[in-house]
Amino acid sequence: SSSAKARRASSVAQRARSKVAARRARTRLRAIEEAARPVPPVVEAPMSSEDLARGHEIVARVEAAVAMSDLAEAESALAAGRLAWAELQADTNIDPPLAFAFDTAVEAAREAMGERQRERQLAQERAQSVAREQADRVAICDEIEQLDGESSADRVAELRARWDSLPPIPAEFAASLTRRFQ
């Protein structure tokens, strides 16, 4: 089939009156010949024991970033590991199992850092919420302390209702604020 195509393209290329048709036929003939040419298998040299040890050490460093509690330190370790990996790739052909281990370690480190970032954000949101709740209670206490006169009993009742409608406060603030309120 490919030899028949090659004969037709060769025939067209030789008998063509148009330069464009001859050029197209020669291009098609080259493509057919290249496709028919056997491709020698690429044999990659195995990694040297030094490069293999270096690769495992880089993977171990990236895997260690998963357990780091300091987000900046983990990001720095991941960046250093990726740089070292790029340098190793420039020096040698990486064994596929080692490349898979590195990719897996990088993904795990990214997921762990993302989880730590979400935890940090939730902690900040909780702290802000507690601060707002505490600020509401402190404002009520401040207002009660400044009350005087006949209408103060009605206002204290309103403020008590507002105090009671607030969500429960954390134990570390509850005692001192409750004492102040009472």
pTM of the model: 0.53
Residue 120: how many CA atoms within 13 Å on its side-chain side?
10
Q: Which long-range CB contacts under 8 A does 28-34 form with residues at least 24 apart?
A: 32/2, 32/5, 32/6, 33/6
Look at residue 7 in the predicted model and tell me its pLDDT.
67
Q: What is the pLDDT of residues 54-65, one digit of tens each?
A: 999 999 999 999
Q: pLDDT band for position 47 (50/70/90)?
A: confident
**Which residue from 80, 83, 84, 71 is spatially nearest to 110, judged by alpha carbons?**
71
Look at residue 84 in the predicted model and tell me its pLDDT.
94
Ordered alpha helix ranges (H), 38-95: 49-64, 71-91
